[in-house]
Structure 1
Amino acid sequence: MFMAASTGEVMGTQTDWSGVRERVIAVVEAEHRAHGSEPSPHPIFEPVLTAAEIAEVEAQYGVALPEEYRTFLAEVGAGGPGPAIELTSLRRVDGRWGWVWDEGEPLLLDPSGPFVETEDWADQQRATLRTAGHEPTTRDEEEDYLDAYYEVFGEAGESVWYEERVRGAIHVSDNGCGMTGWLIVVGPHSGELRNRDCATNPPFEPYLDARGNRHTFHSWYLEWLERREREAG
């Protein structure tokens, strides 16, 4: 297992989530009033997690969660509104922790290796196929070596391919229309986020701020909240 260093620990900074939960609730309620809608009977946020629960998550996966995400879970909520539609909810289901999206089966983190960046993905595929005794010859323009995965792993080929593609990262947000957000947990870019399009083999693109700097969970969430507050006006 790989132990991921958190962004806050590396940079030596403190993450401030004070007032964020209340601000999100206020803007959601203001939007309901503006549209003449009744307040939702459901809580806006999932409950926060205790220190013991977060430690249980980290022990289950053998990783340290990025500090900004860990403190969000403890101070804001284990799920709720967020870029662009909502965050996945971290819940214990049947004794195991996983990330729940749209009430489906919990999504698990594979901590067995670092997240593979888009530019290194084809090399990773070739290495996997060679380890399985297969020398890849043809790289599809859109799907890289997915056909070779079917040849080697049979019907499980796509599942193996997909699980390897998102290894080391958490599916952290639903962005609508098949778009998803991923928080890197394992590897040199732990704490950064990537956006995934709905295509079969899209590039995982870093989220960038207005200056072109890569977002961390804290800057990404606050930028979204500030924009939503301005729009609510």
Structure 2
Amino acid sequence: MANQWMGTRERVVALGAQSPRSEVFGALGHQWVLEEPLTADELAELEGQIGVRLPEEYRTFLLHVAAGGAGPAYGLFPVRRIQGRWRWEGDGADLADLTLLAEPFPEQGPDPKILDELLAQRPEEEDFDEIEDFDAAIQAWDERWDTLVFAPERTAGAIVISHLGCALRDWLIISGSHRGTIWSDGRADDVDLTPLLDDGKPVTFARWYTGWLDQAER
């Protein structure tokens, strides 16, 4: 599987040298910089700490391309050892509970009917005479929404690997039946986590990264 990454780092470096940084979305963020790959010992330590083997496409990327950096949207979140502990760093990376990574990613999220009912109950400013009353109502609604859709168990077995701005992010599932696939997180826009699809098939890490690279080169 390592062969699928042959030449990938060189392609990214070449793009950084040739392309205006504003030409590809997100490039102003990652600046076409790639971190050094992990060593086999570092990867083993990382997996030992989180208690689960990473999906093959991602772990071979970490070994043969980079530990993070240039990639889709504003870049691939780097994984780094900080004071002896491994963690992913980036806007929203801390949404992933590292103690739950060995738990299977849930087959489904909250009941869509419950989500629809809650969305229908969202306060509207025009329904209130005083702005203070609206602010209190929307704050209470936000707390109910966050409790439902941002519960830590909702993203068990997954890590945040990239952000697209405006609190929109992509997750990599590392445990459970969806292992190795990328899910889009639109919860900031009141949209639940959904799998990325290509011709109806789940997008894996390699397809996600190489698809971005192919498009960037075009």
Shorter-chain TM-score tier:
0.7 to 0.9
In the alignment, the residues of structure 2 paired with residue 18 and residue 172 of structure 1 have an alpha-carbon distance, to the nearest angstrom, of 22
Residue by residue, what CA displacement relative to the aligned partner does 1:27-53 show, whole Å, maximum 9, x if unpaired?
122113898xxxx9x881111100111
Select between 178-187 and 102-111 the one with higher mean Cα deviation: 102-111
> Between Structure 1 and Structure 2, how many residues are aligned?
190
Residue by residue, what CA displacement relative to the aligned partner does 1:60-115 show, whole Å, maximum 9, x if unpaired?
11101000000000011001111122111100112110000159869653225211
- What's the counterpart of residue 118 of structure 2? 140
- What's the counterpart of residue 193 of structure 2? 204
Matches of residues 47-126 of structure 1 in structure 2 within 5 Å? 47-102=36-91, 108-109=97-98, 110-117=100-107, 120-122=108-110
Matches of residues 188-227 of structure 1 in structure 2 within 5 Å? 188-199=177-188, 201-209=190-198, 211-227=199-215
Change (3 A) 1:47 1:215: same
Residues 1:45 and 2:45 aligned together = no
In the alignment, the residues of structure 1 paired with residue 169 and residue 59 of structure 2 have an alpha-carbon distance, to the nearest angstrom, of 20
How much identity, in percent, do the aligned residues show?
41
User: By how many angstroms is 1:202 displaced?
Assistant: 2.4
SS at match of 2:163: strand
8 Å contact from structure 1 (residues 99, 106) kept in 2: no
User: By how many angstroms is 1:140 displaced?
Assistant: 2.4
Change (3 A) 1:142 1:24: farther
- The one-letter code sitting in structure 2 at the alignment partner of 1:52 is D
In the alignment, the residues of structure 2 paired with residue 177 and residue 34 of structure 1 have an alpha-carbon distance, to the nearest angstrom, of 18
- What's the counterpart of residue 165 of structure 2? 176
In the alignment, the residues of structure 2 paired with residue 34 and residue 174 of structure 1 have an alpha-carbon distance, to the nearest angstrom, of 17
* TM-score of the pair, normalised by structure 1: 0.69
- What's the counterpart of residue 14 of structure 2? 26
Change (3 A) 1:98 1:106: farther
Select between 65-74 and 176-185 the one with higher mean Cα deviation: 176-185
8 Å contact from structure 2 (residues 170, 183) kept in 1: yes
User: Between Structure 1 and Structure 2, which shows a larger proportion of helix residues?
Assistant: 2
8 Å contact from structure 2 (residues 149, 192) kept in 1: no
Q: Select which of 5, 12, 15 maps to 1:17.
A: 5
* TM-score of the pair, normalised by structure 2: 0.73
User: By how many angstroms is 1:162 displaced?
Assistant: 3.2
Change (3 A) 1:201 1:48: same
In the alignment, the residues of structure 1 paired with residue 14 and residue 33 of structure 2 have an alpha-carbon distance, to the nearest angstrom, of 10
- 5+ residue gaps in structure 1? 1-12, 124-135, 152-156
- 5+ residue gaps in structure 2? 24-28, 122-139
